[in-house]
Structure formats: C-alpha cells, structure tokens
Copies of this chain bind each other. A is one copy, B any other.
Amino acid sequence: MKNDPAENQESIKAIPEPTLRRLPIYYQLLKSRLNAGSSEISCTTIADALHLTAIQVRKDLEITEASGKPKVGYNIKELIAAIENFLGWNSKSEAFLVGAGNLGSALIGYQGFKEYGLMIIAAFDNNPAKINTSVYGKRIFDIKKLSDMVRRMKVSIGILTVPAQYAQESANLMTEAGIRAIWNFSPTKIICRPDIVVQHENLACSLAVLSKKISEVAARRIS
C-alpha cells in the first residue's frame, strides 16, 4: 500500500511543501531573467543564482511537468507558464478580507497579489468608523454583510487579519457563509472543519524562529 505506485485513489502525489515554497522563488528569478532578455536557462544557472544545487532545482521543476532540452536548459517562457499552471496562478481567484487594520489595509494595497491571480475584491470590519470607507479603492463593508456577499458573489477565499480574540469567530463566520479557504494572518491558531483549507501566516511564529537563530548565532560568537 505504501510502495504501490498505482494508488489510484487520488493519483495526486503529495507535493513536498519545501518544493512548493521554492517554486515562487524560481518564478521570480525567471521573470527577472526574461525581462533581462534571456530566453533559455539551465538548472545549473538557476541553482547558482539561488545558492541551491542543480539536482534540487531539476527535481523541483520536474513536478511542474516542464520539459527542458539537454545542453540548453528550459525555455523561460514555457517554464513560467508551467509554474503558473501548476500553482493555478493563471486563473483569477477572488478573495474577501476580514479585518481592515494596519496589516489588512497593507494587504489590500499590496500590488503583488494580482501577479499571482489573487484579487481582493472587498474588505469587512466591525468598526463603525471604517465601515463604508475605502482603502486603496476597495470598499470596507460591515462584517454583518459578509455572509450575504459570500453567497451572492460566490467568493471562496478569505483573508483573515483580525486580532487574536476575534480570529476564531471570524473564521466561523467565513466558513458558515461558504468560504472554502482561509489565509490566516492573525496571531492565533484557528480550528476549522476538515474540508476547509487553512493556511497560517503567523508573524509571531516566524519571529520565534528568527529570535532563536539570532540568539544561537550570538552564543556561537562568544564561544
């Protein structure tokens, strides 16, 4: 059951997350090389630029089903298209954002997302001072309207940027309304039904890793 290559129950061969996380890095490099006038690139070149090994790069790119030519490498445009296709970045996705605070507003204004096919089309908040105002051209609605609008506009992605104490209830509101995936930037874990995709983006967690790295390096300097 383990080594059986014909596990046709899903045929989706779990993609390693580290690979997934490297793809956007390749993507960014490819775009920059394309702008610089290149048309082909080899694994070796990519690996050198990113301080990785050529083998790893090749294995990562393998899963996008992109095909390169021996002695030449990959066609950059094709490779970009393969990554976009693999990640689903070639089709547009619409998202609602809940919690129009500092971080929420920044995400609304962040131009980078549309490059990846993600469009934040509206925001929601419970603060009367913010309701019916606009941030970077996006209207902020009363959180009470979320449910209706999710249903009407069939939005399936929710971005959560509320304080910790409101995170779980906001997530519940979203999923009950029909949101299928939550990108959670609040500093707490949220628990959702198993069919809901939840991606945690907790700055405190990253800061913990950074803090520890710093103190380790500091300790090494002393010794």
Q: Which residues of A contact B (CB under 8 A)?
A: 10, 12, 15, 17, 20-25, 27-29, 32, 50-51, 86-89, 93, 102-103, 105-107, 109-110, 112-113, 116, 118, 136, 156-157, 164-165, 180-181, 183, 187-189, 191, 195, 197, 199, 201-217, 219-220, 223
Contact between B204 and A183, CB atoms less than 8 A apart: no
Q: How far is the CB of A122 from chain B (nearest CB, A)?
A: 17
Q: How far is the CB of A120 from chain B (nearest CB, A)?
A: 12
Closest chain B residue to A195, Cβ basis: B217
Q: Which B residues are in CB contact (< 8 Å) with A17?
A: 209
Q: How far is the CB of A26 from chain B (nearest CB, A)?
A: 10
Q: Is the interface of A mostly helix, strand, loop or mixed?
A: helix
Contact between A202 and B24, CB atoms less than 8 A apart: yes
Q: Which B residues are in CB contact (< 8 Å) with A183?
A: 206-207, 210
Contact (A20, B208) CB under 8 Å given A32-B165, A213-B197: yes
Q: How far is the CB of A16 from chain B (nearest CB, A)?
A: 11
Q: How far is the CB of A106 from chain B (nearest CB, A)?
A: 3
A211 is contacted by which of B89, B112, B201, B212 (Cβ under 8 Å)?
A: B89
- 17 A-B contact pairs sorted by A residue (CB < 8 Å): A12-B216, A15-B212, A20-B205, A21-B206, A22-B205, A24-B205, A25-B205, A27-B204, A28-B188, A28-B204, A29-B188, A87-B211, A116-B204, A116-B207, A183-B207, A197-B213, A197-B214
Q: Which B residues are in CB contact (< 8 Å) with A23?
A: 208
Q: Which B residues are in CB contact (< 8 Å) with A50?
A: 189, 191
Closest chain B residue to A103, Cβ basis: B106
Q: Which B residues are in CB contact (< 8 Å) with A216?
A: 12
Contact (A199, B203) CB under 8 Å given A28-B164, A50-B189: no
